[in-house]
């Protein structure tokens, strides 16, 4: 199984006093869908660009199957970075851009490309420059889903997409992943829309990876419990609560812990905590 390992990665931009990354360590495994989260300016795009060798590391290593990716065409042909500034000729028509990219990759999936063009209702005869922000994202999405790379990094893929086209993107991603598993790393701010898609989440904050967990591990231990206040309080005694909401006599508490080792009153309901809610707590806690 292939993997990308990032070891003790440091990045300081030329004219910046402070480094953006001090010590990033993370491994991307094959056939996973990662969500990469972090506040504006946390460095999500920069991290992706360093992995794809679009940018120089200050120190540390990015390894593909144990080999440095820098100037390593064998490794880089398996890593695709969909950035907001891909280097196509922006004056070209979309069709010409697709033809150009398909010639760069031997096993580029033209059939999938044609299906996606129809699904997204993209007009290939338009010049890329003349497309709306959403349709520019759609061109980038289509290319990302059709390149034959094992690791695909998508930087804010849904930028500018309306609700219908976001849905087309999510379903197309799941379909192509099921037919042909490979690794996708998606950076986005719309957590609630991808929490059903990703199986791993990464939080980048203050120049470090603050969280790197599988969704299964997280959801095993994060709960929202609701019911009449007195019953909820009795049931969760001793638990370290992250937050609670009160509506009259009805209360909901959220926590990351094992369930209490006592009998649950019938009046109390247990649910998995929503990923978005959990992430906000983690970011607030880590930001303190
Ligand atoms: N070439 C550059 N020179 C100097 N600073 C840079 C350069 N590129 C990025 N930065 C800085 O690095 C920081 C991280 O930027 P980056 O775009 O990677 O963050 P991000 O997490 O992708 O943000 P957003 O969610 O807003 O897209 C920002 O403060 C940005 O100004």
Q: Which helix (H) or strand (E) holds 103?
A: helix 94-104
CA 33 – CA 181 distance, rounded (Å): 9
Rounded to 5, what percent of the chain is helix, strand, coil?
35, 30, 35
Kindly state if the Cβ of 203 falls inside 6 Å of ligand 1.
no
Q: Whose CA is nearest to atom 23 of ligand 1?
A: 41
> Residue 5: which pLDDT band, with cuts at 50, 70 and 90?
very high
Atom from ligand 1 closest to the CA of residue 47: 18
276: Cβ contacts below 8 Å, ≥ 6 apart:
191, 192, 195
Contact 37, 204 (CB under 8 A): yes
CA 43 – ligand 1 centroid, Å:
5
Answer whether 16 contacts ligand 1 (Cβ < 6 A): yes
Cα(255) to ligand 1 centroid in Å equals: 33
Listed range (117-131, 147-161, 233-247, 274-288) with the worst mean pLDDT: 274-288
Mean pLDDT of 245-253: 93
139-192: per-residue pLDDT in tens?
A: 999 999 999 999 999 999 999 999 999 999 999 999 999 999 999 999 988 888
Nearest CA to ligand 1 atom 16: 43
Indicate the average pLDDT of the chain: 91
Cross-strand bridge partners of residue 4: 28, 64
Using the mean position of ligand 1's atoms as its centre, give its distance from the Cα of residue 41 in Å.
5
Cα 169 to ligand 1 centre (Å): 25
CA 39 to ligand 1 centroid distance, Å: 11
pLDDT in tens, 31-54: 999 999 998 999 999 999 999 999
DSSP state at residue 51: H
Answer whether 46 contacts ligand 1 (Cβ < 6 A).
yes
The boundaries of every CATH 3.40.50.300 domain in the chain are 3-215
Q: Is the CB of 45 inside a 6 Å radius of any atom of ligand 1?
A: yes
Element spanning 116, H or E: helix 110-120
Structure confidence at residue 285 as a pLDDT band (50, 70, 90): low
Q: What pLDDT sits at residue 85?
A: 73
Q: Which atom of ligand 1 is nearest to the CA of 38?
A: 21
CATH topology of domain 3-215: Rossmann fold (3.40.50)
Look at 114-118, 174-178, 280-284 and tell me which has the smallest mean pLDDT.
Answer: 280-284
Protein residue closest via CA to atom 9 of ligand 1: 46
Which of 36, 38, 39, 41 to mutate for ligand 1's pocket (most ligand atoms within 8 Å of CB)? 41
Q: Is-contact 6 204, C-beta < 8 A?
A: no
17 lines ligand 1 (CB under 6 A): no
CA–CA gap between residue 38 and residue 54 (Å, rounded): 20
Q: ipTM beyond 0.95?
A: yes
Q: Nearest Cα to 281, choosing from 214, 216, 210?
A: 210
What pLDDT was estimated at residue 275? 77
């Amino acid at each position: 199984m292939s993997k990308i390992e990032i070891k003790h990665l440091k990045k300081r931009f030329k004219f910046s006093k402070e480094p953006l990354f001090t010590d990033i360590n993370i491994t991307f495994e094959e056939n996973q869908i990662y969500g990469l989260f972090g506040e504006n300016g946390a460095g999500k795009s920069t991290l992706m660009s360093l992995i794809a060798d679009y940018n120089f590391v200050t120190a540390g290593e990015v390894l593909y199957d144990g080999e440095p990716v820098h100037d390593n065409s064998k490794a880089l042909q398996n890593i695709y970075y969909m950035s907001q500034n891909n280097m196509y000729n922006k004056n070209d028509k979309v069709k010409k851009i697709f033809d150009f990219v398909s010639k760069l990759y031997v096993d580029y999936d033209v059939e999938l490309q044609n299906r996606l063009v129809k699904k997204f209702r993209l007009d290939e005869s338009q010049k890329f420059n003349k497309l709306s922000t959403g349709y520019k994202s759609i061109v980038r999405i289509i290319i990302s889903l059709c390149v034959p790379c094992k690791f695909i990094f998508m930087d804010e893929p849904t930028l500018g997409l309306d609700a219908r086209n976001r849905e087309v993107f999510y379903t197309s991603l799941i379909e192509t992943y099921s037919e042909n598993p490979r690794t996708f790393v998606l950076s986005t701010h719309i957590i609630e829309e991808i929490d059903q898609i990703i199986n791993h989440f990464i939080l980048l904050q203050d120049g470090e990876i603050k969280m790197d967990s599988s969704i299964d591990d997280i959801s095993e231990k994060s709960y929202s419990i609701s019911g009449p206040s007195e019953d909820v309080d009795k049931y969760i005694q001793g638990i370290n609560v992250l937050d609670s909401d009160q509506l009259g006599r009805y209360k909901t508490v959220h926590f990351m812990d094992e369930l209490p080792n006592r009998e649950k009153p019938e009046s109390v309901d247990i649910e998995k905590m929503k990923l978005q809610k959990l992430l906000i707590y983690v970011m607030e806690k880590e930001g303190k």
